[in-house]
Amino acid sequence: MPPKMRKVRQDLRVTNALAGSSGASIPDTCVLDMDGTLLDLYFDSQVWNECLPRHYGQRSGLSESAAREHVEQVLTRQRGTLTWYCFEHWSRVFRLELTQIEYELRHLITVRPGVTEFLEALQARGIRAVLATNAHPKSLLRKLEITGIGRYFDAIVSSHEFGYAKEHQKFWSGFAERYRIGLERTLFIDDNLAVLLAAQRFGIRDLYGIALPNSRGERLNHEGFECLENFSDLTHRLMTS
């Protein structure tokens, strides 16, 4: 698609999202993922893809590449489940203190560009903001303490409370019931394609991905979903609609 057409399509998509399904008003609720959406995924990438294999290799006597391969294989088996996001489980499996590793890298926990302004715009427009994350509650708490973003939210949810990850329909049914999520009037933003597909299957209509969840990683292009370069377009439309 020519760049100009793509821009027009993006603008229409954003306008539709902020106009809600009726086209008459902006959404009443915005549900936001945390890691890779509000916060830079570089931190998590360092914890899981670099520090964990390195510490495991040192402890087990494996070479760094062998440790990396083993850790990746073991983690992959649980991808998309709540177990995959459970610190305590992996601390037991790898016999490492993951909480300590996270603590040592806490200086890498940062808010992505444009996020604070977007959250302020939600507040200014009276749109309910809900943070919904697969992060373990301990990790969630640490990130909220370090970044201070919790003050912008009307509700903060870890999927661990529901017993199912956001990739699962049972998360969405429990979450939607507890927080009275209207499918037609909710904007949902998440960097994880499997989660976007699950939310779409549940019936949420206005969905966005994130183009660069890890500031030092690869650019994503989820087919079927517009991936935001940053939040400033959405913020601008919120404040001018």
Residues at the interface with Mg ion (CB under 5 A): 33, 35-36, 191-192
CB of 41 to Mg ion, least distance (A): 7
- Return the number of the residue (36 or 57) whose C-beta is nearest Mg ion: 36
- Return the number of the residue (26 or 132) whose C-beta is nearest Mg ion: 132
- Nearest residue to Mg ion by CB is 36
> What CA dihedral angle connects 234, 216, 100 and 88, to 10 degrees?
70
**Residues 223, 37: Cα–Cα separation, whole Å:** 18
CB of 155 to Mg ion, least distance (A): 17
Sign, CA dihedral 117-121-122-124, equals positive
- 186-189 and 29-32 beta bridge pairing: parallel
CB of 106 to Mg ion, least distance (A): 18
CB of 141 to Mg ion, least distance (A): 17
- Return the number of the residue (134 or 235) whose C-beta is nearest Mg ion: 134
- Return the number of the residue (35 or 233) whose C-beta is nearest Mg ion: 35
Q: Count how many Cα atoms sit within 13 Å of the Cα of residue 70 in the half-sphere of its side chain.
A: 16
- Return the number of the residue (33 or 167) whose C-beta is nearest Mg ion: 33
Give the residue from 117, 123, 125 showing the smallest Cα distance to 19. Answer: 125
Q: Which residues contact 227 (CB under 8 A, 6 or more apart)?
A: 208, 209, 210, 211, 220, 221
